[in-house]
Structure formats: C-alpha cells, structure tokens
Amino acid sequence: MCFLINFPTNHLTKDTTHRILLKGHPLNFHKKLKNYKSTVLHNLRGLASKWNLCAIHVKDESTRFGLGSFKPLGVSYAVHKLNKIVNLKETLCAATDGNHGIGLSWISQVFNKKCVIYVPRHTTKSRTKFITNLGSKVIKLEKNYDQTCEHALQTSKKMDWQLVQDVSFKGYEKIPAYIMSGYQTHMHEIGEQIECKELPFFDVVFLQCGVGSWAASCIWYYLEKYGSKRPKIILVEPRESAGVYESFKSKKRTNPKGSLKTIAQSLNCGKPSLSAWGIIQSGCDGCIKVDDADIIAAKNIYLNSKGNDPKIFSGASGAVGLAGLLKCLNDKKFGNMKKHIGLGPNSKVLLFNTEGTLFDNL
Ligand SMILES: Cc1ncc(COP(=O)(O)O)c(C=O)c1O
C-alpha cells in the first residue's frame, strides 16, 4: 500500500538524459507558442485549514493550451528540438492512452506534419475522438500499453516514420529526455510564481505516475535546484498499474502486477521508463498505491471547494496526487509514511491537477 524509501542518493548520474535536461530552455520555447499562458497555482487556504496543514497549492494544468493536460509541454518541446537537429520526417507517430497522443497531434499540425497514433484496447472513445479531431489517424489495437508501444516502434521503423515516444528503453533515450525537459516548463512557472532561490517553498510534493517520466522530470528539477534540501517527494499510482511501486519492491524496473484497468486512464501503463527509473531512485521518498474510490473522493474534494477556495475541475488522473495526500492524512496504516515525510501543521504541500475534465463532455 505504501513503501518508504529511506536513503535516496540525492544526486544524479551525469548520463545523456541528465545533460539534455540540464541544457533545456523549454519555457522560452513554450512562451513563443500561440495560446501559451502560464497555468494557475491555486492556494487552497480553506482546505489546508480544514486538514490542519500550513498550505496546499495546486498547479492546475487543466487549461494548458486548451488541450486538457500538461502533456503537450513535453512532446511539443521534443518535436521542436528534433526539428533543429534532424530533418523531421513527414509522419510522426506514437503509442498513447490519451494525452501524449493529443499533444503529438497538436504539435504535428503546428509543424505541418502527418501523425499516426496507436492506442491500446482500453482507451476510451472520447480520447480517440479528440485525437482524431486534431487531424491524426488513430488506430486502436487489441493490445495492452506496452505491446502498443512495441507496435508503434516496429511500424515506425518499417514505414520510416519519426517515433516520438514518452517512454525510454535501451537505445531510445534522447527523445524521452527532450520530453522530460519540456515538462519542466511548469516547474519553471512555479519557480516564477512562488519558489525561492535557496530553499524550496514546499515541504512535500505528491506526483502521480504512469511510466514515471513526468515525476522524474519534477524530481530532477528539485534535485538540480536544491539538492538534499529538496522537498519530500511522494509518488502515487493506481493500485492496478503500480509499476514504480513494484519496481521499488523488487529493486529493479518491473511490470505492474495489476490488471492495468483503473479510472485513471492516463496512468494505466506498464514498466516504468528506463531513464525515469534512474532519476526516481535518486530523489524520491516513498510510493503510494490508491484505489479508484480514493481517486473519486479526491476529484470530489477538488470540486466541492472549502471556504473561498476555487473549484478545481479534475479528471481521474489529475486527482491521483490528492488521493495520495488523503491516504496519508486519513488512513492509520499510513502513519509511518506521514512521519517519514513530516506531514503536519507546518507542511506546505504541492499537488498537480495534471488533467481536467475535457473528455467527460465528449
Ligand atoms: C494526466 C496525466 N497525469 C500524469 C501522467 C503521468 O506521466 P508519466 O506517464 O510520465 O508518469 C500522465 C501521462 O500520460 C497524464 O496524462
């Protein structure tokens, strides 16, 4: 249910991923895109007071580029970087269970390229429809997420398409590193909104995981900026797709044990990404598994705001970080975790609403 990590190294290996992340200036790139606007960092004073915490802030990615999630940040930056170093192929391709494909379809249009998106069997109609409306060809496979990624890889090789995948594996590390670099735009925005130079504003950060690339990029940001003074970082996954949790337990990158069927559509992934796993091990303090019921409770808390707090419209995956915080606060079995991260009246907590409710209305 929860796993405490006692001795994160708090330093990063200087591999390709590290160097790409270090050199990235994604915020400068994103600021030049049409529709760019920094997303809001909500201060939920009412909720923090109710739960006896010092502060709860939520970076709300539901409005990002009008595309419903933070994901387009990563893939748009990767395509921009690729375009600078190679001749972009005529067709771009990826496997996705939703948001990554939305991002690639959108940026393919910006760069005037064709786009083919493969989705696994469990991807909902609303998501495939959204991707199709962005001009991509969407092909649904009778496969799970990992098998769909493999299919996209093999077909791209055969057809001479450019694979732009957010999961890294041996020999495919550069593009996922550009994607992780692109995600950092919202960390830089938070830097402008609230963080200080010497010490982090936040004490505890909850990050939801699919393949772990996004969480790794946030961890990298905090390690690079604050080293061992970084906030405590907790990763949260749906119980049925908890690849990071299982990897920590078995001390090697491994597949989730569950069914991969949860309401958190965007997190129903397989094995953690290779380079993400390296970074996660360096700077994370624990992992939490949550159930669909916890995620629904978290969505409702965002919606039924306290006092003068704003209402936050969150999709299931968007609410998973809050579901993790709820577990720590309310479930006695998480007492050790609470102690481990020092969660209490002095804690300033950062959460991300990584996706909104765009698909609920399609
Ligand atoms: C809304 C949302 N939140 C979180 C994540 C997790 O990102 P990652 O797969 O890099 O762990 C995703 C990934 O697609 C997502 O779409």
**Domain edges within the chain:** 2-70+179-361, 72-176
Which of 71, 104, 131, 206 should be mutated for ligand 1, with most atoms under 8 A from CB?
71
Three-state SS for 54? coil
Is the C-beta atom of 208 inside 6 A of ligand 1? yes
Is the C-beta atom of 354 inside 6 A of ligand 1? yes
Helix (H) or strand (E) holding 178: helix 174-183
Helix (H) or strand (E) holding 132: helix 125-133
| DSSP, residue by residue, 17-31 | HHHHHHH--HHHHHH
Is the C-beta atom of 244 inside 6 A of ligand 1? no
- Are 2-70+179-361 and 72-176 in the same CATH fold? yes
User: What's the pLDDT at 97?
Assistant: 86
Phi, psi of 292 (to 5 degrees): -55, -40
User: What's the pLDDT at 116?
Assistant: 98
- The CA distance from 106 to 120, in Å, is 20
Phi, psi of 65 (to 5 degrees): 50, 15
Helix axes 125-133 and 99-110, enclosed angle (nearest 10)? 10
Closest CA to ligand 1's atom 15 = 266
Helix axes 16-23 and 213-226, enclosed angle (nearest 10)? 70
Is the C-beta atom of 57 inside 6 A of ligand 1? no
User: What's the pLDDT at 361?
Assistant: 54
pTM of the model: 0.96
Is the C-beta atom of 100 inside 6 A of ligand 1? yes
Phi, psi of 324 (to 5 degrees): -65, -45
Indicate which atom in ligand 1 lies nearest the CA of residue 183: 10
- Chunked into runs of 10 residues, the chain (362 residues) has average pLDDT values of 89 87 92 96 98 98 96 98 93 95 98 97 91 97 94 98 96 96 97 88 98 97 95 98 96 94 90 95 96 97 95 97 98 96 98 91 52
Measure 307 CA to ligand 1 centroid, in angstroms.
30
Indicate which atom in ligand 1 lies nearest the CA of residue 214: 10
User: What's the pLDDT at 282?
Assistant: 95
Q: Architecture of 2-70+179-361 per CATH? A: 3-Layer(aba) Sandwich (3.40)
User: What's the pLDDT at 119?
Assistant: 96
Topology of domain 72-176, CATH: Rossmann fold (3.40.50)
Report the DSSP pairing between strands 41-43 and 2-4.
unpaired
